[in-house]
Amino acid sequence: MDHFTYRGGRLHAEDVPLERIAEAVGTPVYVYSTATLARHFRVFDEALAGMDHVIAYALKANSNLGVVATLARMGAGADVVSEGELRRALAAGVEPGKIVFSGVGKTEAEMRHALDAGIAHFNIESEPELEALSAVASAMGVTARIALRVNPDVDAKTHAKISTGRYENKFGVPIDRAPDFYARAGALPGIEVIGVDVHIGSQLTDLAPFEAAFAKVAELTRRLRAEGHDIRRLDLGGGLGIPYQASNAAPPLPFDYGALIRRTVGDLGCQVVIEPGRLIAGNAGVLVSRCIYRKSGEGRDFLILDAAMNDLIRPAMYDAWHDIVPLTEPAPGAPLTPVDVVGPVCESGDTFAKGRSLPPVAAGEMVAFRSAGAYGAVMSSEYNSRPLVPEVLVNGAEFAVVRPRPTYDEMLARDRLPPWVG
């Protein structure tokens, strides 16, 4: 459920008409809903009620400080994968003791920064990384808490580019090799083994792969405990999918995901960490764009928008579907015609949708891409020297620009002429 609905014929974010934001800030613009973020956080929190748990929001989905601070105020932790994300989490007020550091390529500088901050634990993905962390922590005279990210070789049945739990993927350590890894970790200076971590992929629309992975984690935990390791935290990653297409079957609910967690690992008495990103932020955001031209092609019409692949890359990168709706509610029974929805970037890949049945949208009118709150703004770029798209956070009847659109002067000022052409 989200808070983007038509009221009086105009699409609103909570109590604010999106048109009003577009007029104030210009288009394209990302707009997020506080009530939706809060609701999604709460459903996870309720799904795990009664278990010791941390909801470590995956910042990679949407790392805007306004968004992260909103979640931090509700008690969210953070899953970070770079020093930049760590700094964002800390700046947004996330408690260091609720921050986990994931990712296959943490540098020594990033490890030092995280140890200084006192984060909850590192999710370790390889032996060389473990050794590097041991050396860094020992040199600092501190102990690094770690969980090993195990690769359970489970098919997440999602898009190949966002599947991470098969042996062919670069992530984690094959689960069969985990006992040896833990034996080695237990003997290293500066390292304290505290848990097991798993993350099998993103946009999962079936609970069965989670069940298979968590069952393997439970089995491994029992074995590691028998071998003398004090496993007290299970980090089960993120990955629960969201409905992108109003007409598709709804993915599983967080409540059922929570029940699955209880069923598979609940009897181990561990603290459970989950790292949801998309489910919290995805349907809490839209990208608002204006139609620049409507162009008749040979056998097809093009809707040329002022948003482009640099602003929302998911359709070009994963063939992802985003519902596209006009800001003005179409009259009941308005005819639907197929159009190719494209941006102004000079690549054929700059196509948001092909042959999409849409109600009439004329030049000058605006549309919203739904489900754009996760992996939208964070994956944007300045390709074609298009300034980064701004972000707005709505809260009831109020809204605030939480990242302004850079001016062209600011954009150009970041470059320098080398002395030999100056």
Q: Is 239 in the site for ligand LLP (CB under 6 A)?
A: yes
Given 27, 62, 203, 221, the residue binding ligand LLP (CB under 6 A): 203
Q: Is 373 in the site for ligand LLP (CB under 6 A)?
A: no
Residue 298 known to bind ligand? no
Q: Is 62 in the site for ligand LLP (CB under 6 A)?
A: no
Which is closer to ligand LLP, CB of 33 or CB of 203? 203
Distances (CA, A) of 101 to 178, 243, 341: 19, 28, 38
CA distance 388 to 185: 43
Given 13, 37, 48, 61, the residue binding ligand LLP (CB under 6 A): 61
* Stretch near ligand LLP under the rule CB under 6 A, chosen from 55-63, 289-297, 304-312, 334-342: 55-63
Q: Is 405 in the site for ligand LLP (CB under 6 A)?
A: no
Which is closer to ligand LLP, CB of 32 or CB of 399? 32
Distances (CA, A) of 205 to 212, 246, 261: 14, 14, 16
CA distance 143 to 189: 8
Q: Is 315 in the site for ligand LLP (CB under 6 A)?
A: no
Q: Which of residues 1-40 bind ligand LLP (CB under 6 A)?
A: none
399: which residues sit within 8 A by CB, 6+ positions away? Answer: 13, 16, 21, 31, 392, 393
Decide: 165 and 199 in contact? Cβ < 8 Å.
yes
* DSSP strands (E only) in 81-164: 99-101, 121-124, 144-151
Distances (CA, A) of 130 to 63, 154, 178, 234, 419: 27, 24, 13, 18, 43
Which is closer to ligand LLP, CB of 313 or CB of 341? 313
* Stretch near ligand LLP under the rule CB under 6 A, chosen from 13-21, 54-62, 185-193, 329-337: 54-62
Give the residue numbers marked as catalytic: 346
Amino acid 381 reads S
Given 165, 195, 209, 238, the residue binding ligand LLP (CB under 6 A): 238
Q: Is 85 in the site for ligand LLP (CB under 6 A)?
A: no
Mapping DSSP to helix (H, G, I), strand (E, B) and coil, where does residue 321 land?
Answer: coil
* Least distance (Å) between residue 231 CB and ligand LLP: 19
Q: Is 274 in the site for ligand LLP (CB under 6 A)?
A: no
Which is closer to ligand LLP, CB of 11 or CB of 287? 287
Site string for ligand LLP, 144-163 (x = CB under 6 A): ------------------x-
Which is closer to ligand LLP, CB of 70 or CB of 202? 202
354: which residues sit within 8 A by CB, 6+ positions away? Answer: 340
Q: Which of residues 90-129 bind ligand LLP (CB under 6 A)?
A: 102
Long-range contacts of residues 188-191, Cβ cutoff 8 Å, at least 24 apart: 188/130, 188/131, 188/134, 189/134, 189/137, 189/138, 190/133, 190/134, 190/135, 190/136, 190/137, 190/138, 190/142, 190/143, 190/144, 191/130, 191/133, 191/134, 191/137, 191/143, 191/144, 191/146
* DSSP letters spanning 170-189: SSSEEGGGHHHHHHHHHHST
* Stretch near ligand LLP under the rule CB under 6 A, chosen from 28-36, 84-92, 234-242, 347-355: 234-242
Q: Is 58 in the site for ligand LLP (CB under 6 A)?
A: yes
Residue 219 known to bind ligand? no
CA distance 373 to 371: 6
CA distance 257 to 255: 5
CA distance 77 to 99: 5
Q: Is 285 in the site for ligand LLP (CB under 6 A)?
A: no
* Least distance (Å) between residue 47 CB and ligand LLP: 14
Task: Count CB atoms within 10 A of the CB of residue 31.
Answer: 27
* Least distance (Å) between residue 413 CB and ligand LLP: 30
Which is closer to ligand LLP, CB of 25 or CB of 275? 275
Given 14, 110, 275, 391, the residue binding ligand LLP (CB under 6 A): 275
Residue 278 known to bind ligand? yes
* DSSP strands (E only) in 275-350: 285-296, 301-305, 324-326, 337-342
* Least distance (Å) between residue 375 CB and ligand LLP: 3
Decide: 341 and 351 in contact? Cβ < 8 Å.
yes
Token code pair at residue 294: 């409507």
Residue 318 known to bind ligand? yes
Q: Is 181 in the site for ligand LLP (CB under 6 A)?
A: no
* Least distance (Å) between residue 255 CB and ligand LLP: 16
Summarize as ranges the residues that interact with ligand LLP (CB under 6 A). Answer: 58, 60-61, 79, 102, 162, 199, 202-203, 237-239, 275-279, 314, 318, 375
Binding-site residue ranges: 239, 275-278, 314, 318, 347, 375
